[in-house]
Amino acid sequence: MKYRIIALLLISGILSALQVNAFCGFYVAKADAKLFNNKSEIILVRDGNRTVITMSNDFKGTVKDFAMVVPVPVVLREDQIRIVNRNVFDALDAYSGPRLVEYYDENPCQPVFEYMMDAVPAMARTMNKEIDVAEDFAEKDLGVTIEAKYTVGEYDILLLSAKESSGLKTWLTQNGYKIPASAEEVLEPYIKSNMKFFVVKVNIDKFLESTSEYLNPIQIEFEHERFMLPIRLGMANSPGEQDMIVYAFTKQGRVECTNYRTVKIPTDRNIPLFVQPKFGDFYKALFDNAYTREAKRAVFLEYAWDVSLQNPMKCDPCVGPPPMQKEFQEAGVNWVNSWGGEPVFFTRLHVRYTRDRFPQDLNFQVTSNTERFQGRYIMTHPASGEFDCDAGQSYLYELQNKRRKEVDELIAMTGWEGKNAYNYIHEYSNRMNDERRNEVLFPFIKLPSGPAGMLLVFLGLLATILLIPERKSSYSRKTIE
């Protein structure tokens, strides 16, 4: 009896595991931030009035040309400025990125209880001559005041205040900061709002002493009632579209934009198998389509989940190990400890912005919405084996309908066009018996099976060719493979 109970427990455990796998599917591919060329990544932590912003961008060029000017509401202390490891961005991106998941159909003629399935911008270091750090003086005639000056890691940092944008622009240019020609008009609103300016330049000696070939992300922390990201100044660097990925953490729930609509990216859609090798292109096309449909004025939600250490399920399916205490602390989520601490809610937002469509900075709010969400796209492999039973024939009939819907979903989400969708939809038609094949070709007519049915099918097709004017297939324009 003892062994029978153990055996039953083992079988129950195996079946439970199979059910979980059948529900979750298997991760195949992800659409990460690297898909987008002109992009920046931001980690945003909000707890009461405490804000932590960690900034990383895809700057390319020689480090002596790197300069960053970020409006901040207060003068930062040195202990409120840190550099962090780039790996924290990679971990958060990989975990929260939109994903492709695959499922496998079961052959209704050969039911089984066991599944054997597999889960399947660099910056060159340069040897430049030392560049001069801005001298510690205020150009009174330009209306610029140096409020604080620090060296943190490989960066020389100034906190400036200014009376007018033209004076600030002139001061930055005179002191070796390369800023866009159009920066003056963008600086003006921040000066009128009494914002300070967090100004960063690379200290070449410190950079060369480090072992990294990349500039590290910079993290700042401050207390202020306003919860926002200043994006207008970044627009001065590029007249075109820019992408920003925001990884936001709170105790309460989802982070949403208040001055632009926050909308969900299309998700949980079934797509054709041939999308797998080009999933990155698929997601870029999907995002472009959604961005255009929302009049290029929306912020897109790509992931939202309770990722607390005590919460065992943080995705469906997971694309890698979840964020752990080290990543949380690196990101500035200081309420997490080895025992878990308070809840952690993770929101991933994706915004594509231009100067004309996003004339304001991004203002955010922390909501109590803890609904789970992720960009997830489903690919289903057909069953294998023989389909000689009635249920198998019904399955093949339904398979064609499902594949037709997959192609329609693909076109609706991406706008892709092509010519080979017909072959994909009807790939298994030759495995149907005469009766089922006739239902596909003539769904409203009951045809006899055998030679008589085949003769009627032939005559019907001949009549169609001779009597009906030529017209293109509804799928003849697609360029998808």
Give residue-wise pLDDT tens across range 336-353: 876 767 899 999 999 999
321 and 402 co-located in one domain: no
Tokens of 133: 């750090």
Q: What is the mean pLDDT of residues 420-444?
A: 73
Domain endpoint, select from 301, 332, 366:
366
212 and 72 co-located in one domain: yes
CA-based R_g, the chain, Å: 29
Question: Is there a domain that residue 474 lies in?
Answer: no
Q: Which among 400, 460, 465, 472 has a CA at the least distance from the CA of 430?
A: 400
Mind listing the pLDDT tens digit for each residue in 17-52?
333 333 334 556 667 787 777 788 999 999 999 999
Please answer whether residues 381 and 104 qualify as being in contact, where contact means their C-beta atoms are separated by less than 8 angstroms.
yes
Q: Which among 19, 398, 27, 196 has a CA at the least distance from the CA of 406?
A: 398
* Cross-strand bridge partners of residue 376: 99
- Give the pLDDT score at 184: 79
- Give the pLDDT score at 234: 66
51 and 142 co-located in one domain: yes
* Cross-strand bridge partners of residue 201: 67, 156
Q: What is the mean pLDDT of residues 256-283?
A: 96
Alpha helices in 25-107 (DSSP H): 87-96
325 and 219 co-located in one domain: yes
Domain endpoint, select from 312, 332, 366:
366
- Give the pLDDT score at 126: 33
448 and 322 co-located in one domain: no
Mind listing the pLDDT tens digit for each residue in 130-141?
333 334 444 457
Averaged confidence pLDDT in the chain: 79
pLDDT at position 117 over 70: no
Please name the residue that has the structure tokens 């499922």.
103
- Give the pLDDT score at 210: 76
Tokens of 135: 């001298």
Q: What is the mean pLDDT of residues 194-209?
A: 89
Other Cβ atoms less than 10 A from the Cβ of 38: the count is: 14
Question: Is there a domain that residue 56 lies in?
Answer: yes
* Residue 440 exposed, middle or buried by CB count within 10 Å (0-12, 13-18, 19+): middle
Structural domain harbouring 327 = 37-93+121-266+278-366
329 and 423 co-located in one domain: no
One-letter amino acid for residue 449 of the chain: S
SS3 264: strand
In this structure, the strands spanning 67-72 and 50-57 are unpaired
Question: Is there a domain that residue 25 lies in?
Answer: no
Question: Is there a domain that residue 481 lies in?
Answer: no
pLDDT at position 239 over 90: no
Question: Going along 203-324, which residue ranges are E strands?
Answer: 218-223, 228-229, 242-250, 255-257, 261-264, 269-270, 298-306
One-letter amino acid for residue 180 of the chain: P
Rounded Cα gap, residues 377 and 28, in angstroms? 10
User: What domain count does the chain have?
Assistant: 2
Q: What is the mean pLDDT of residues 41-64?
A: 87
Domain endpoint, select from 305, 335, 366:
366
Of all residues in the chain, the percent with pLDDT exceeding 90 is 47
Q: Is 341 left (phi over 0), alpha (psi -120 to 50) or beta?
A: left
Question: Is there a domain that residue 250 lies in?
Answer: yes
Torsion angles phi and psi, residue 69, rounded to 5: -125, 115
In this structure, the strands spanning 228-229 and 26-30 are unpaired
258 and 304 co-located in one domain: yes
- Give the pLDDT score at 105: 93
306 and 407 co-located in one domain: no
284 and 432 co-located in one domain: no
Rounded Cα gap, residues 30 and 280, in angstroms? 7
Question: Is there a domain that residue 396 lies in?
Answer: yes
In the Cβ-directed half-sphere of 457, how many Cα atoms lie within 13 Å?
19
Other Cβ atoms less than 10 A from the Cβ of 5: the count is: 9
Q: What is the mean pLDDT of residues 281-305?
A: 96
Residues ≥6 apart with Cβ < 8 Å to 411: 417, 478
* Cross-strand bridge partners of residue 101: 27, 378
Question: Is there a domain that residue 331 lies in?
Answer: yes
Rounded Cα gap, residues 29 and 319, in angstroms? 8
- Give the pLDDT score at 276: 92
Q: What is the mean pLDDT of residues 247-276?
A: 96
Q: Report which of residues 454 and 4 the model is more confident about.
A: 454
Mind listing the pLDDT tens digit for each residue in 71-101?
999 999 999 999 999 899 999 998 899 999 9
Question: Is there a domain that residue 480 lies in?
Answer: no
pLDDT at position 277 over 90: yes
Q: What is the mean pLDDT of residues 376-393?
A: 92
Q: What is the value of pTM for the model shown? A: 0.80
429 and 337 co-located in one domain: no
Q: How many helices (H) and strands (E) does the chain have?
A: 12, 20
Rounded Cα gap, residues 205 and 153, in angstroms? 11
**For 317-380, what is the HEC assignment?**
CCCCCCCCHHHHHHHCCCCCCCCCCCCCEEEEEEEEECCCCCCCCEEEEECCCCCCEECEEEEE
282 and 138 co-located in one domain: yes
- Give the pLDDT score at 18: 30
pLDDT at position 221 over 90: yes
* Residue 21 exposed, middle or buried by CB count within 10 Å (0-12, 13-18, 19+): middle
Tokens of 99: 């994903």
- Give the pLDDT score at 116: 37
DSSP states along 272-295: -GGGGGGHHHHHHHHHHHHHHHTT
323 and 414 co-located in one domain: no
